[in-house]
Amino acid sequence: MTIHIPVLMNEVLDGLKLDPSGVIVDGTLGGAGHAAEILKRLGPDGRLIAFDRDPEAVDAAEALIDDPRATFIHANYADAPEHLVHLGIESVDGVLLDLGLSSDQLADRDRGFSFQSDGPLDLRFNPLEGVAAWKIINRMSEKHLADIIYQYGEERLSRRIARKIVAWRQDTEIKAASHLARLVRSCVPRSKKGGIDPATRTFQALRIEVNDELKWVKVAMKRFPQILNPGGRLAVISFHSLEDRITKQAIAADDTLKNLTKRPIQASEEELDENPRARSAKLRVAEKNPNSAM
């Protein structure tokens, strides 16, 4: 059973402005929290097409949701247009991208998303493609490691961390997530005010690198407006500044889109009390101009 708590639920549903007979794409199925609520608001003629790069997320959703209106697909959300064509769908009324990790992934101690995991530091959304993070940190040059941690994690102590990684791996292969977390904590002092774990930014950087996340956000932000019906909505939830910047700039640069959120929507204090993970979530919504051609 999923333990995931979806963020900004009411704001997403309002932003998508759901038509009961509409066709909605959920590009990042995750724990299926948003997907389940969208289905509740769709009528008998509505349809949900949900994607996830993580095969376990798709399997879990299929076990959780038995609904003929829902189609779950193991695929990269950026490839959604091709899959829609295969399903005989030319255009859709709404697209949702929730770019955060699901709580289910964080709880999986075998894939390295949790700092406490003694399992391999994998960090791949799709274990069947790409290279695991532990292989990267044991092979990559110190400079390349530092650049990744700085650029994708926005970690100011990236060079110190990369230097420590290279020194440690000369004697012992760094394979477990908990091993890397301890290493990073030894380099980055914890804030006196508490805040995030010192390992957070380094793990984020490696996850982005392993999954090529920023590339796929850029690709999707170019492709999704093309499959939206006039008046259709695009809603994107990001959890760090790099993704939010890509989303903001893509909406501004697309003449077919009308920006409905000049400032990103963030979680209420009430939601934060129930789900602290929502603190960094930012939602941007855009609408396909009614006069735009398909």
Tens-place pLDDT, residues 92-143: 999 999 998 776 666 666 788 888 888 899 999 999 899 999 999 999 999 9
Say what the pLDDT of residue 236 is. Answer: 98
Q: Residues 292, 293, 294, CA angle at the centre, nearest 5°? A: 120
Residues in the chain: 294
**Cβ contacts of 36 within 8 Å, gap of 6 or more:** 64, 65
CATH classification number, 9-104+214-288, choose in 3.40.50.280, 3.40.50.150, 2.60.40.420, 3.30.470.10? 3.40.50.150
Q: How far apart are CA 225 and CA 209, in angstroms?
A: 26
Q: In this predicted structure, what is the pLDDT of residue 1? A: 44
Cα–Cα distances (Å) from 115 to 111, 121, 123, 204, in that order, read 10, 9, 11, 11
CA 26 – CA 47 distance, rounded (Å): 11
Query: What are the residue ranges spanned by the domains of the chain?
Result: 9-104+214-288, 109-211
What's the pLDDT tens digit per position in 15-42?
999 999 999 999 999 999 999 999 999 9
Structure tokens at 242: 């790099």
Query: What sign does the dihedral 63-67-72-78 (CA atoms) show?
Result: negative
Query: What's 109-211's CATH class?
Result: mainly alpha
Which pTM was predicted? Answer: 0.93
Give the model's pLDDT for residue 116: 82
The segments of the chain whose pLDDT lies below 70 read: 1-4, 103-109, 192, 194, 293-294
User: 92: which strand partners?
Assistant: 228
DSSP code for 187: T
